[in-house]
Chain A
Amino acid sequence: MNSIQKKIFLLTTIVLIIMSVIWIALTYYNHKTQQQYNEILQRYLKLNEVTTSSQNVITDINNYMIIPSEENMSQLNQSKKRMEEAKQGVITLRNEENNFTLTNYVHLMDSFIETTNRLLLFLSENDSEAAAQEFSEVTSISTYISEMSLSLVDTELKTYDRFYRGIIKQSGEVMKLGIFLLLLIMCVLFLVTYWFSLTITRPIFKLTQAANELSKGRFDLQVKVETKDEIAFLARTFDRMRKNINMLISEIKHKAQLEHELQQSKILLQESQFKSLQSQISPHFLFNTLNTISKKAYLEGSEETSDLLVSVAGILRYNLKQLDRSVTLREEIMVVRQYMDIQKARFTDRLRFFMEIDECCLDWKIPSLTLQPIIENAVIHAVEPNEDGGTIWARVIDERDTVLIEIEDDGIGIHKDKINLLLTEDSQLVENKSKGIGIGFSNVVKRLRLFYGEEDVITIKSEIGSGTKVIIQIKK
């Protein structure tokens, strides 16, 4: 059965039981009182019956004396019988108070009957004088009987006086009890009903509140109803719905973020492609020209110039062709070398470049043009502004499960806030005035993260005044 229904049923049952108990008690009490009344009335009736029956006997005797018929005789016998019955009834009325009188009374009736019998005997013997005397005797006894009946009634009244008063007083008390009981039950029922309705409406109120909050868009409040009825069930279901909605929302958010990232990487790629296209001025022409100049320089004995031109041509080609592909680390290192050759030619002694390469790690894949922009940055910030130039180290180290690529300089260092700015990828504005070949640092960072799917693939360690170290960690 349902809980609320059960509650209502329980309340109704309790009320019904209380009502029934009161009803039964009152009925029982009523019945008892009725019985007492009956008993009292019966006492009086019995006494009265004696008087009446004795008078009947007298009447019948009189009739019989006037007309001594069979019919009158049987009538008389009937009356006598009735008298006997009345006597038996009276005997049961004996109690402490009327004991004496009642015995007298019974004996008086005996005398009455005896005298009657005697009278009948005289009549049958036709002794009319004696019969007349007996008749007067019977009459006087009958008078005594009715007098004694009265005195017995009187005694009865005296004996039961307290009893009668008790009954009267009690009926008043019953009335009082009824009123108080009614008031009490009214109050109690009022209280119980109040409490009972509260147990039903309070959860509903809570639920309503929760629904309100939900409709306002607050999905983080837990819906809690601590009862065991249907409302609680409703609340639980409601709460589950809230959680589901919460989950769905967070999923959608997550998806939206992913989409956003994808779009960004596309944009970045397009950007770099666009930039590289800008600089793609008839590449074959540029290549051929550069190669021609290189050979020309070589033939003219300027071997150094020739080598530089070859490096420039290599970087140019690499830049143009391989931007949207992954390359091996080896190729990247190659480009870095060519780039540094060019920069060495520019800075001569001011630039000191050291490389420590672990050869076994050079086959790992890496997005193209990632190392070169970092080195370029190092050159721009550590070597260019310094009159004495600077030192740059590039290392590829084989750790157990990662490959570490470190690019270190001894420049002025980068402020912590700026590092954070660089790493959170929102630094396009900062990078706008890049002086390098065009691909910004943040672009590198984003591409690395997208490529490896990890946030901490690149870290920057720097102290103001003593250099910067960029570390790329590639998981094997």
Chain B
Amino acid sequence: MVIFLTVILILCYFTFDAAKNVFRADWQFPSDDRMNNQDQQRLVLITQERDTPFWDKVAKGAKKQAEIEEVSLEVWGSYSHNQEDFLKNVEIAIQSKVDGIIVQGLDTDEFKNLTKIKASFYGVPIITVANDVPIADSLRRTYVGSDQFSAGKMIAEQLVRDMGSKGKVVLMLESQEEYFQKQRLKGIEEILKQYKDINVVYAKTIDTTKEQVVVTTQDTLNKEPDTNAFIAINANVLGTLVKEISKRYQIDPYYIYSFDDGPESISLLEEGTLDAMVEQTPEAMGEQSVQLMMEWLNGEKVPLDKNGYLTDIKIQKAENTNE
């Protein structure tokens, strides 16, 4: 009898345990948000390069600001300069009638078409961030980011300081130069032309794919074996460039400069491979772009400064440089 009762008690325990598990509603439908948030303004940040340190910071800053402004913000992006994807994203954003688009500028006709015609047609304001496209071509509201011209100047000055007023400098360019690259180039040239002994060589790659960069780098190294310095105007080529150089020579004797918006820039600087780079303030860009967009949308600041709102830049030198 006692055994029987014990069995019943044990069974009771298990039954109630199972019943508790069954009827405990620990999995709820996600809260139904039909009414809420519907009037919230929607911003989209569209970039060409996702998951690079630079753009992560931009996104972080933008999200922070969006939270303060109480708007919803999504970051869309394509990987490794997939222009088709990027343009599609921009188009979807426009067709989706978002309240504002913050976009990494792309200096191509398709992009300009989109921003100029379609965005205006749908009445979607666009702010370019980090990389500008001139207002005449894109009808952007404003630009938030670094002054690329002075960034070019700064890096050139640093080069001169490090290398001296004599030497051969290779500028890595894209043959299809974007607006921000042109600006940088202009800044660099502005400085370097003051020094007659500095020989500037232009190495143009067709695009920033690995194969092309490899080809260009090898070609340059073949043609110009006595090069002293490299400046990667587009930071995206940096990784491949450094790898290619190190295949032939010691990397240390070369002065290599670039900007911080490439995927490998920061790690290379920490390694000491990169001698210096221009450090921009991506978080500030994100924050400020969202802030300006909201101000424009709320009619607090009309019109926005067409020349853009510039964020801080500074030279970041490698800590264990060899001098």
Contacts and interface: CB of A to CB of B under 8 A. Distances in A.
Interface of A: 29, 39, 91-92, 94-97, 99-101, 103-105, 107-108, 110-112, 140-141, 144, 148, 159-160, 162-163, 165-167, 170, 173-174, 176-177, 180-181, 183-184, 187-188, 191
Given A99-B33, A104-B92, A170-B21, 6 more contacts: A94-B38, A162-B27, A174-B22, A176-B14, A177-B15, A181-B15
A105 B96 contact: yes
Given A94-B33, A95-B32, A100-B42, A144 B18 contact: no
B320 interface: no
Given A94-B32, A94-B34, A107 B8 contact: no
A106 to B, nearest CB: 8
A interface majority secondary structure: helix
B249 interface: no
B122 interface: yes
A191 B14 CA distance: 19
A166 B28 CA distance: 9
A173 B27 contact: no
Given A99-B37, A107-B97, A144-B91, A184 B12 contact: yes
A112 B18 CA distance: 51
Interface string B23-57: 10011111111100110101000000000000000
Contact of A187 (B11, B37, B72, B122): B11
Nearest to B95: A111
A187 B31 contact: no
B15 A184 contact: yes
A40 B203 CA distance: 57
Contact of A166 (B19, B26, B30): B26
B283 to A, nearest CB: 22
Given A104-B42, A141-B95, A95 B15 contact: no
B95 A108 contact: yes
A177 B27 contact: no
Q: Which of B7, B23, B98 has the most CB of A within 10 A?
A: B23
Contact of B8 (A94, A110, A111, A187): A187
A180 B28 CA distance: 26
A173 B18 contact: yes
Contacts of A95: 29-34
A181 B8 CA distance: 11
Per CB-CB distance, the 9 closest pairs between chain A and chain B, nearest first, are A166-B27, A104-B96, A177-B18, A107-B97, A184-B11, A180-B15, A111-B95, A173-B21, A107-B96
Contacts of B122: 111
Contacts of B93: 104
Contacts of A173: 18, 21-22
Contact of A104 (B11, B26, B37, B98): B98
Nearest to A163: B27
A108 B96 contact: yes
Nearest to B93: A104
B157 interface: no
B116 to A, nearest CB: 16
Contact of A160 (B7, B26, B30, B97): B30
Given A111-B97, A166-B26, A100 B74 contact: yes
A360 to B, nearest CB: 86
Contacts of B26: 166
A144 B42 CA distance: 18
B18 A163 contact: no
Q: In this complex, which of A29, A100, A159, A165 has the most chain B Cβ atoms within 10 angstroms of its Cβ?
A: A100
Given A108-B95, A167-B27, A177 B11 contact: no
A464 B29 CA distance: 118
A96 B30 CA distance: 7
Contacts of A141: 95
A111 B121 CA distance: 11
16 contacts: A94-B34, A94-B38, A95-B34, A96-B30, A96-B33, A100-B72, A104-B97, A108-B92, A111-B95, A112-B95, A163-B27, A170-B22, A173-B18, A173-B21, A173-B22, A191-B8
B268 to A, nearest CB: 35
A253 to B, nearest CB: 50
Nearest to A93: B34
Contact of B22 (A92, A177, A191): A177
Contacts of A105: 96
A140 B8 contact: no
Interface string B74-92: 1000000000000010011
A173 B26 CA distance: 13
Contacts of A184: 8, 11-12, 15
Contacts of A97: 30
Contacts of A181: 15, 18
B8 A29 contact: no
Given A173-B21, A191-B4, A180 B97 contact: no
B94 to A, nearest CB: 8
Contacts of A29: 22-23
Nearest to B97: A107
